[in-house]
Amino acid sequence: MKRKSTSLVIAAAALALLASSCGPDLAITQASANLDNVQQSASFAIVNNGAKTTSPFEIEILLLDDAGAVVEVAYRKAISGLSYGEKVALKNISLRHLPTPDNNCLGKVTQVAFSIDLQDVIRELDESNNRRVAEVQPISAVCDEIVRFEALPIGKEFLPISHIASDGIGFAIRALPEGKGFAMIRNDLAVGNGQAMWLKNAWLEPRICLPRHYIAFDAGYYGGNIYLEVNGDPGGSPYPSLAAVDGAIIGGVAVKVSGHGENPGLWQFNGVVNSLKIGGQELAIDNILFWTQQKRML
């Protein structure tokens, strides 16, 4: 039997090394979270730096306490796979629905852990970049003042004038001047978590019995005019865009808005609110926080 030449052995070793370096390589490129009384959200970005497409895998966000124990599983999502160089960015993932009296309104959460490929189903070139932990300040919001719309029937249209209630707060549905409108509970939008309130040429008017000193909610603006009325003041309604609303003072209340379509944001009303109406031609709303304390801890 002839011995293989040294050059053939070196070539085979080189090919084996090349093959081993051509696998997939998932990495977290960005991970951030906020759990204060304004933002309860997280953002997550991943990329495949390897030279092969991955098989399906999962991503996960966990809320942890000082000891590293899991307080809540905040988010899980299955990814069908990433090709070479492909990126996935998940922005403004709402965590506003998670604070409950049972978990101390997330008051013990100090860390947010982001992970990819939880089951280790993908053989990667580098397994050390699949987890990242962000430090956060514990929330101090009163979590029983949040309306989540989870108990209302999905797909049901509420025609003007309708009166509904969710999480102890009553709402009136009224029509906008643009024409026939309605409100609907949907679960197919990127806004908030689970079920969201969809406004189609409609007003949403919460029944505020006591003055609120801060109101905020997850929102997605899908186009058309925006109508606002705070403490009986319509401001410059109708507003043609988010930019026209952001920074406005209406009824003595400072208004800050963000969030287009599949990249949802946060709407905030900072000041003493005795009455509020929110109207949109195509607007989605979820997780409304009604803050009663006179002093907010931000």
Given 70, 104, 135, which residue is the final one in a domain? 135
Per-residue pLDDT band for 289 (boundaries 50, 70, 90) equals: confident
Whether residue 208 sits in one domain with residue 185 = yes
Confidence at residue 203, expressed as pLDDT on a 0 to 100 scale: 97
Per-residue pLDDT band for 125 (boundaries 50, 70, 90) equals: confident
Whether residue 170 sits in one domain with residue 128 = no
Q: Which of 176-180, 272-276, 282-286 has the lowest average pLDDT?
A: 176-180
Rounded CA-CA distance 196/152 in Å is: 10
Query: What is the CATH classification number for the domain harbouring 131?
Result: 2.60.40.10
On the question of pLDDT at 293 being above 50, the answer is yes
On the question of pLDDT at 149 being above 90, the answer is yes
Is 189 among the domain residues?
A: yes
Whether residue 111 sits in one domain with residue 45 = yes
Per-residue pLDDT band for 68 (boundaries 50, 70, 90) equals: very high
Given 135, 158, 191, which residue is the final one in a domain? 135
Whether residue 202 sits in one domain with residue 87 = no
Joined tokens for residue 220 = 């997605």
**Residue bearing the bigger pLDDT, 98 or 292:** 98
Rounded CA-CA distance 230/27 in Å is: 45
Rounded CA-CA distance 91/161 in Å is: 35
Mean of pLDDT values over 5-25: 54
Joined tokens for residue 246 = 């952001």
Whether residue 159 sits in one domain with residue 276 = yes
Q: Rounded to the nearest 10 degrees, how much is the dihedral formed by the CA atoms of 183, 189, 193, 196?
A: 0
Query: What is the CATH classification number for the domain harbouring 176?
Result: 2.60.120
Confidence at residue 15, expressed as pLDDT on a 0 to 100 scale: 39
On the question of pLDDT at 55 being above 50, the answer is yes
On the question of pLDDT at 10 being above 60, the answer is no
Is 20 among the domain residues?
A: yes
Is 223 among the domain residues?
A: yes
What is the pairing mode between strands 182-186 and 196-200? antiparallel
Whether residue 123 sits in one domain with residue 188 = no
Rounded CA-CA distance 72/141 in Å is: 17
Give the structural domain span for 111. Answer: 6-135
Q: Rounded to the nearest 10 degrees, how much is the dihedral formed by the CA atoms of 195, 265, 283, 141?
A: 60
The proportion of the chain whose per-residue pLDDT surpasses 70, expressed as a percent, equals: 89
Structural domain count, the chain: 2
Q: Which of 85-94, 143-152, 164-173, 181-190 has the lowest average pLDDT?
A: 143-152
Under 8 Å between Cβ of 206 and 242: no
Per the DSSP assignment, residues forming a β-bridge with 288 are 147
**pLDDT tens across 220-244, in order?**
999 999 999 999 999 999 999 999 9
Is 1 among the domain residues?
A: no
- Give whichever of 87-91, 102-106, 179-183, 280-284 has the largest mean pLDDT: 280-284
On the question of pLDDT at 8 being above 60, the answer is no
Cβ burial, residue 13 (10 Å; 0-12/13-18/19+)? exposed
Is 43 among the domain residues?
A: yes
Given 135, 169, 200, which residue is the final one in a domain? 135
DSSP state letters, 15-47: HHHHHHTTS--EEEEEEEEEESSS-EEEEEEEE
On the question of pLDDT at 74 being above 90, the answer is yes
Whether residue 150 sits in one domain with residue 122 = no
Per-residue pLDDT band for 37 (boundaries 50, 70, 90) equals: low
Whether residue 100 sits in one domain with residue 71 = yes
Confidence at residue 62, expressed as pLDDT on a 0 to 100 scale: 97
Per-residue pLDDT band for 38 (boundaries 50, 70, 90) equals: low
Per-residue pLDDT band for 104 (boundaries 50, 70, 90) equals: confident
Mean pLDDT of the chain: 87
Cβ burial, residue 168 (10 Å; 0-12/13-18/19+)? exposed
Mean of pLDDT values over 129-142: 84
